[in-house]
């Protein structure tokens, strides 16, 4: 008469499967926190969320005529060109009247797309042209991120009465003034969402 298998032999595979499932569950439960602490992941590094978007001096001087573009969208050399030519800012005199231009330049340099405070906006430096453009809409990376919109710019932007220009970021990026440019915050007025998301 043969001996009956032991408990361990009888339930070996179910026990292994149960241990694997328990391990996967624990990994899913604790890995995000552990990895975040281990690698010190910063939410600004994984999202297009501009630091210091609410700088009141910058908003006062640069947000009167258009959105005060986050410093992170252009590199230092672009901001340098712009701030050293404020008397002819795209055909307008944008000379600062309250805050010294040097203070604005210091803020822009500290947060530009090629600064240590750029976060995910460092992506804007990908394939950067030389000389660096002074318009965000001329950056290759910006054009890549907006390629579907550019293909239909007449209907989505230029002839859209609630947008009219690519320079009006806040017309489509609902949280642009807070410095947030993630694609889930995009809502192009008068256009069906299915036309620009996929």
- Which parts of the chain are beta strand (E)? none
The pLDDT of residue 39: 46
pLDDT(193) > 50 = yes
Q: Which residues contact 143 (CB under 8 A, 6 or more apart)?
A: 137, 150
Tell me the mean pLDDT in the region 9-19: 75
- Alpha-carbon 37 to chain mean position: 22
Cα angle vertex 107, ends 106, 111, to 5°?
115
Instruction: Give the Cα separation of 124 and 109 in Å (integer).
Output: 15
Rounded Cα–Cα distance for residues 153 and 138 (Å): 15
Choice between 132 and 9, residue whose per-residue pLDDT is larger: 132
Cis before residue 131, ω within 30 degrees of 0? yes
Candidate from 10-14, 43-47, 171-175 with smallest mean pLDDT: 43-47
Q: Across the chain, what does the average pLDDT equal?
A: 84
Is 24 or 191 the better-scoring residue by pLDDT? 191
Listed by start position, the domains of the chain span: 8-41, 56-195
What does the pLDDT look like over 105-152, one tens digit per residue? Answer: 999 999 999 998 888 888 888 888 888 899 999 999 899 989 999 999
The HSE-up count of residue 80 (CA atoms within 13 Å, CB side) is 9
For residue 146, what pLDDT is reported? Answer: 92
The token pair that represents 189 in the structure block:
């007025």
The tens digit of pLDDT for each residue in 28-48 reads 776 655 554 444 445 545 678
CA 56 to chain centre: 21
Q: What is the mean pLDDT of residues 86-96?
A: 91
- Give 176's contacts (C-beta < 8 A, 6+ positions apart): 67, 169, 170, 185
Average pLDDT score over residue span 80-95: 92
């Amino acid at each position: 008469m043969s001996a009956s298998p032991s408990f361990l032999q009888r339930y070996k595979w179910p026990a292994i499967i149960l241990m694997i499932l328990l391990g996967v569950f624990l990994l899913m439960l604790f890995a995000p926190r552990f990895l975040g602490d281990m690698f010190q992941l910063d939410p600004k590094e994984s999202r297009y969320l501009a630091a210091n978007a609410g700088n009141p001096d910058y908003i006062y001087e640069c947000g009167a005529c258009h959105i005060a573009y986050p410093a992170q969208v252009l590199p230092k050399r672009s901001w340098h060109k712009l701030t050293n030519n404020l008397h002819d800012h795209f055909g307008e005199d944008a000379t600062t009247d309250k805050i010294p231009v040097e203070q604005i330049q210091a803020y822009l340099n500290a947060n530009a797309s090629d600064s240590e405070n750029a976060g995910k906006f460092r992506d804007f430096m990908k394939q950067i042209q030389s000389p660096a453009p002074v318009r965000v809409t001329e950056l290759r990376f910006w054009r890549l991120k907006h390629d579907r919109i550019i293909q239909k710019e007449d209907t989505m932007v230029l002839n859209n009465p609630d947008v009219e220009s690519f320079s009006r970021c806040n017309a489509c990026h609902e949280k642009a003034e807070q410095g947030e440019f993630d694609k889930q915050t995009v809502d192009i007025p008068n256009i069906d969402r299915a036309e620009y998301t996929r």
